[in-house]
Amino acid sequence: MALKVKAQSPFAKLLEDKQGVLKIYAEGDLVEGVVTAVTKNRIWIDIDDGHLIGIISNKELFEEGIAAPNVKAGDTVTASVLLPESEDGFVILSLRDALENRGWEALEMRKTKDEVFDIKVIEANRGGLIVEADGLRGFLPVSQLAPENYPRVGNDKDEILSRLSQFEGKKMQVKVLDLDKNVNKLIFSERMARKNEFEELVSGIKIGDTLEGKVSGIVDFGIFVSLGQLEGLVHISEISWGKVDHPSNFAKAEEKIKVQVIGIDDDKISLSMKRLTRDPWLDTIKDFEVGETVEAEVTQIMPFGVFVSIGKDKVDGLIHISELSIEHVTDPESVVKTGDKLKLKVIDLGPDSHRLGLSLKAVSKSPVAKSAVKPAEKSADGFAELGLSAAVIAKLKEAGIDSIEVLKEKSEKDLEALPGIGKVTAAKIVAATKS
């Protein structure tokens, strides 16, 4: 009698072929497979020697801003399981997690090594460039572009976008400026990538050098100057000793100009045009001395102090609020009014501010000293009428100065040389004799 053999089920045969072990995948598992085909929207993957078929959608990569890998049939790829089995029996896979992790690891390594590498520009916006590196999208801000790529068009945002759009599709060399996987932050810098090159180029330049360059751009805050392979900026404050309404009034694009190097910091070269000419302020103040008493007219009152005009040449001066009175002042208008004529002490020649620093309190008599002398009282030597304290008068007499007439013949330097009379006291004494 012939034995009836029971047919083996396909599932049992599969178990037998896999030696009793059939991998069952769950969501999130990583699988390795071989690419069998690449179509317009999908990548087909052979899993476990053809026992399972996986599908990767290019759409999910595009939505996440991740570059689809350049794979072809026969390549081995690693992907994560999104859905163990679709309605059609396929394993739905994702390259996102695998590519993201790989990309972040690669960029972390690049940052650690301070590496210079290529990125591809995807698109431009008014703030900078959206770029792609190691399969991830990041940002290259305008402020981190190399000098020659910086759009020198002032605040015209449309023109900035137009200038930046020319980089779309091109490669640029950068370094990682900042990255944080947890908040998906990825910032690149082209300036940092060029730092070593910059340092080599500026090695032959020193502060104080006079150079000739060509105007490469004019913006609201200054003038960019091309110095061959280098570029510097003449800030608006360094264009002229006089008032600068706009940099375009002092230079034209492509014009050759001479500049002085006044700073080299990181990858920036600071230049000056005005320092190649004599500061007219030096001629203005040549007749003034610190400690001198001058007459001035109040022209403007501000919360921080009082502006004045001095003499027929209308030299500008400033009385800081702290120099208005011996007593504390919160409102300058409580002390002076516009148009007031004042006697003031010069305390600063203003080489930077181009305004004389002046003091009203330095020529004012001490309120305490005034109250100590009764109006009806007169002294033989006349010292008391000057508002001088008894201690100061005693020191003057000890030095042989026994009358106001003798005192008026003394300069501040003469008085400073006397025992017990300091610079401040000497200035007050001289001011008192002239009031």
Model confidence at 179, in pLDDT bands (50, 70, 90)? very high
pLDDT computed for residue 369 by the predictor: 34
Placement of tokens 């492509």 in the chain? 254
pLDDT digits (tens, 9 = 90+) for 373-407: 334 344 555 666 676 666 677 778 777 787 777 78
Give pLDDT, residue 17.
Answer: 55
Beta-strand runs (E) in 48-170: 52-57, 76-83, 91-94, 117-125, 128-133, 136-141
Task: Tell me the pLDDT of the chain averaged across its residues.
Answer: 83
Residue 18 pLDDT more than 70? no
Distance CA 204, CA 262 (A): 15
Statement: residue 1 has pLDDT above 70:
no
Region 52-66: mean pLDDT is 73
Q: How far apart are the first and last CA of the chain?
A: 146
CB distance 167 to 149 below 8 Å: yes
Say yes or no to pLDDT of 42 above 80: yes
> Is the pLDDT at 286 greater than 90, yes or no?
no
Q: Mean per-residue pLDDT for 59-66? A: 62
Tokens standing for residue 254: 């492509």
In the chain, pLDDT over 70 holds for what percent of residues?
85
SS3 for 300? strand
Domains and CATH numbers, the chain: 23-94 (2.40.50.140), 100-193 (2.40.50.140), 210-276 (2.40.50.140), 281-363 (2.40.50.140), 367-434 (1.10.150.20)
How far is Cα 204 from Cα 265, in angstroms, rounded to an integer?
Answer: 15
pLDDT of residue 350: 85
Closest CA to 264 of 329, 220, 208, 215: 208
Cα atoms in the Cβ-side hemisphere of radius 13 Å centred on 275: 20
Residue 433 pLDDT class (50, 70, 90 cuts):
confident
